[in-house]
Amino acid sequence: MKSRKRKQVQLYDFSPRQDCFRKEVLSGLRKSPKKLPCKYFYDEQGSRLFERICTLDKYYIPRVETAIMEAYIEEMVELLGQRVLLVEYGSGDCTKTRILLDRLRDLVAYVPIDISREQLLRVTEELVVDYPGLEVLPVCADYTSEFELPVPKQLSTRKVVYFPGSTIGNFDPIPTKNLLEHIAKRYGPNGGLLIGVDLKKDPQVLHHAYNDSQGVTAAFNLNLLERINRELNGDFNLEWFEHYAFYNTREGRVEMHLISLREQTVHLGNVTIPFAKGESIWTESSYKYNLDEFKQIATAAGFKVEHVWTDEQQWFSVQYLVSQE
């Protein structure tokens, strides 16, 4: 194991309060069909499971996206320009970010934003050691909610948001447009968005990506119930729910659900939630686009698509958008 000197890091904390989690979970479980927000996957355990998903061969996204980044990093750096303030939405373990940090040597500062506090602290500690001289300003927040951007010591010529991994695919169409519009306004004029967008492909490939044989994706999905048990005094029996993921061709999205294997009643504190046998909790959508579809959405949100990089099979794209706001 690599040993690292630990450094103190200051965290800008706008993390959602526990009562938001409770409120959203209860309102989701009272809906018909039942639904839970996928942002709550990422507690410490969930973030670790997601890191494991990212090492699975069938979950092609990190592998293909990293290959695109590595192949075209010079072009990306050229387009982003100099003295950039780099803000990352959903920084996670920052693996792909390092490709940018290695090349963008005159960065003014790097602002990783993530909802998972423990992972954010751990990763920031590593970055300040590995990139001495780089100002790292970590923000713990749900980036779809209100948060303030920390002010770096130096002035930047442009703000660029890095939003990799096709996390944009986890938003439904209207929230997608709203989020992109918000980014275009907040970081414009002339602000950039370097974004990973997963593309439509053979449904079999998608099926295997979200139904791995080792059961890691299933464990990631079920961890949401474990988290509810841990944090909201729930009594979900994990053996009575099953991971179910499929590609919905008409909607162009992979859907993840948790299916109740029997008629049962679950408690969250003193609240009772009934489940019929076969009833589902819809936990995640992962939209896949073709290049024209995404261009339309980006343009409607106030961006110009400046450049699109893809792999040979056109499975994934990294796109550089510039705010016209």
Least gap, CB of 151 to ligand AVI (angstroms): 29
Least gap, CB of 19 to ligand AVI (angstroms): 25
| Closest by Cα among 285, 17, 297, 290 to 167 | 285
Q: What distance in Å separates the CA atoms of residue 50 and residue 48, rounded to the nearest whole number?
A: 5
Output the CA–CA distances (angstroms, integers) from residue 236 to 239, 240, 244, 268, in the order listed. 9, 8, 17, 9
Q: What distance in Å separates the CA atoms of residue 222 and residue 220, rounded to the nearest whole number?
A: 6
SS3 82: coil
SS3 75: helix
Residue 97 engages ligand AVI in binding (rule: CB under 6 A):
no
Least gap, CB of 63 to ligand AVI (angstroms): 13
Chain-centre distance for alpha carbon 163: 8
Among 217, 223, 280, 323, binds ligand AVI (CB under 6 A): 217
Among 15, 97, 280, 286, binds ligand AVI (CB under 6 A): 286
Q: What distance in Å separates the CA atoms of residue 248 and residue 229, rounded to the nearest whole number?
A: 30
Among 53, 139, 268, 297, binds ligand AVI (CB under 6 A): 53
Based on the number of CB atoms within 10 Å of its own CB, is 136 exposed (0-12), middle (13-18) or buried (19 or more)? Answer: buried
Residue 62 engages ligand AVI in binding (rule: CB under 6 A):
no
Residue 170 engages ligand AVI in binding (rule: CB under 6 A):
yes
Binding mask 196-215 for ligand AVI (x = CB under 6 A): --------------x-----
> In this chain, which residue has its C-beta nearest to ligand AVI?
286
Binding mask 147-166 for ligand AVI (x = CB under 6 A): ------------------xx
Least gap, CB of 62 to ligand AVI (angstroms): 10
Among 284, 289, 302, 320, binds ligand AVI (CB under 6 A): 284
For ligand AVI, which is the closer residue by CB, 119 or 286? 286
Which residue reads 């009772």 in tokens? 272
Q: What are phi and psi of 270, to 5 degrees?
A: -100, 15
Q: Which two tokens stand for residue 250?
A: 């008409």
For ligand AVI, which is the closer residue by CB, 286 or 323? 286
Least gap, CB of 1 to ligand AVI (angstroms): 27
Based on the number of CB atoms within 10 Å of its own CB, is 311 exposed (0-12), middle (13-18) or buried (19 or more)? Answer: middle
Q: What distance in Å separates the CA atoms of residue 252 and residue 304, rounded to the nearest whole number?
A: 23
Least gap, CB of 165 to ligand AVI (angstroms): 5
Chain-centre distance for alpha carbon 37: 12
Q: What distance in Å separates the CA atoms of residue 137 and residue 18, rounded to the nearest whole number?
A: 24
Least gap, CB of 310 to ligand AVI (angstroms): 17
Which residues are registered as beta bridge partners of 12? Answer: 139
Residue 167 engages ligand AVI in binding (rule: CB under 6 A):
yes
Size of the site for ligand AVI (CB under 6 A): 11
The stretch near ligand AVI (CB under 6 A) out of 80-88, 120-128, 167-175, 230-238 is 167-175
Residue 169 engages ligand AVI in binding (rule: CB under 6 A):
yes
Residue 176 engages ligand AVI in binding (rule: CB under 6 A):
no
For ligand AVI, which is the closer residue by CB, 217 or 319? 217
Q: What distance in Å separates the CA atoms of residue 296 and residue 67, rounded to the nearest whole number?
A: 26
- Site residues for ligand AVI per CB under 6 A: 53, 61, 165-167, 169-170, 210, 217, 284, 286
